[in-house]
Amino acid sequence: MSDVPPDLDWTRAAPEGATGPGPWIELAFGDDDLVYIRETSDPGTVVTTTQKKWDAFVLGVQAGEFDHFVEGAEGVEGVEDTEEAQGPEGTGGAQEAGGVGDPGNGRP
């Protein structure tokens, strides 16, 4: 495991109103332009990526680029298998994702 700064401010990504220990994903943004990701069930294992890669991932999620991973899964809200949800052919819904200047990445 790489050196993880001890003073990171971890933010839990859990559904609104969720209670209990999870497991949930937690994120922390370091001063060194790195993003740290861990799961509450194993907080000692931390994945690190760059802010640029994290922003690209968030934009991809917003654009629906990963929806195929949950198609048909029960209990997954907000995933629809329609052309409207996917966006016009070839866009992957990118028209609804927002601009690159505002990726909605949750960073404070």
Q: Has residue 3 been placed in a domain?
A: yes
Here the tokens at position 16 are 């609104």
Same domain membership, residue 1 and residue 32: yes
> Cis (ω within 30 of 0) for the bond into 23?
yes
Q: Which residue has the tokens 């052919």?
A: 89
SS3 (DSSP) at 89: coil
pLDDT for 95 equals 35
Predicted TM-score (pTM) of the model is 0.64
Task: Indicate the number of domains in the chain.
Answer: 2
Q: Has residue 57 been placed in a domain?
A: no
CA dist., res. 4 & res. 32, Å (int): 11
Please, what sign has the CA dihedral across residues 87, 91, 92, 95?
negative
Over the chain (108 residues), what is each successive 10-residue block's mean pLDDT?
A: 84 85 90 93 94 96 92 66 46 38 51
pLDDT for 44 equals 92
- Domain that residue 39 falls in: 1-51
